[in-house]
């Protein structure tokens, strides 16, 4: 009996020590990388989002503004990205913030109304950090009909959310038939379109005074 009790205590201790998802450790590392990168530049373009953003290979700059990849895999509209970015900027303002989020919200089956509320709250948190915000459409998934329906619903309301807070909405062109390598994350063909769209949104800063 004593041996069984010790074994159960050991199992419980292991569970408590290991219960923190790996995503949290990854998020902390990414936040450190984002902050250290932002500390090196002023008047930057920040591309904020989830693993789709994190996996992109955008150029280092456009029109004299450094582009900082602030993608963190696994994040959604409730991941406190606004406060993370505010802390990382440490009182400075970004020239422009591009937001690309929604896939993980759809995977968690959040209603369109919940998504709207959360997304708008995030954008409102970003408003003091920049004078320009670009909202990107959510890339479509493959072979996941239920999530695809939710993403389509989210994309239908994103232009309205962006307009409400004075942001610019950027739609994605039609993706090729095979644009992911696992049904969600973009392959080379998908990223070619996604990167071009992100740069098109970022280019709105070019020529501005």
* Per-residue pLDDT reduced to its tens digit, 79-136: 999 999 999 999 999 999 999 999 999 999 999 999 999 999 999 999 999 999 999 9
Is 181 within the bounds of a domain? yes
Is 55 within the bounds of a domain? yes
Is 8 within the bounds of a domain? no
Is 28 within the bounds of a domain? yes
What global pTM score does this model have?
Answer: 0.88
Band (pLDDT 50/70/90 cuts) for residue 3 is very low
Is 58 within the bounds of a domain? yes
Band (pLDDT 50/70/90 cuts) for residue 9 is very low
- Residue 14 pLDDT > 90: no
Q: How many domains does the chain have?
A: 1
Beta strands in 57-162 (DSSP E): 61-62, 65-71, 96-100, 133-136
User: CATH code at 136?
Assistant: 3.40.50.1110
- Token pair, residue 113, equals 């109304």
Query: Domain range spanning residue 76?
Result: 23-205
So what's the pLDDT on residue 22? 55
User: Model confidence over 158-194: pLDDT tens digits?
Assistant: 999 999 999 999 999 999 999 999 999 999 999 999 9
3-state helix, strand, coil split of the chain in percent (to 5) is 50, 15, 35
Q: Is residue 67 within 8 Å of residue 202, measured between CB atoms?
A: yes
So what's the pLDDT on residue 178? 96
Q: What is the DSSP letter of 129?
A: G
Q: Would you list the DSSP string of 12-58? A: HHHHHHH-S-HHHHHHHHHHHHHHHHHTT-SS-EEEEESHHHHT---
Is 116 within the bounds of a domain? yes
Is 10 within the bounds of a domain? no
Give the C-alpha separation, 195 to 64, whole Å: 18
Is 57 within the bounds of a domain? yes
User: Model confidence over 41-79: pLDDT tens digits?
Assistant: 999 999 999 999 999 999 999 999 999 999 999 999 999
């Amino acid at each position: 009996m004593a041996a069984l009790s010790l074994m159960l205590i050991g199992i419980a201790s292991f569970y408590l020590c290991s219960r923190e998802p790996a995503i949290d450790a990854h998020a902390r590392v990414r936040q450190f990388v984002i902050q250290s990168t932002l500390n090196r530049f002023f008047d930057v373009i920040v591309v904020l989002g989830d693993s789709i953003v994190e996996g992109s290979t955008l150029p280092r700059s456009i029109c004299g503004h450094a582009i900082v990849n602030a993608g963190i895999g696994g994040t959604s509209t409730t991941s406190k990205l606004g406060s993370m970015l505010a802390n990382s900027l440490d009182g400075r303002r970004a020239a422009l913030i591009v937001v690309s989020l929604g896939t993980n919200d759809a995977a968690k089956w959040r209603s369109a109304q919940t998504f709207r509320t959360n997304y708008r709250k995030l954008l409102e948190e970003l408003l003091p950090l920049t004078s320009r915000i670009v909202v990107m459409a959510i890339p479509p998934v493959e072979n996941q009909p239920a999530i695809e329906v939710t993403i389509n619903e989210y994309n239908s309301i994103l232009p309205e959310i962006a307009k409400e807070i004075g942001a610019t909405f950027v739609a994605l062109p039609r993706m090729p038939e095979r644009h992911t390598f696992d049904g969600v994350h973009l392959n080379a063909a998908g990223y070619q379109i996604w990167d071009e769209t992100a740069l098109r949104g970022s280019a709105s800063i070019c020529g501005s005074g």
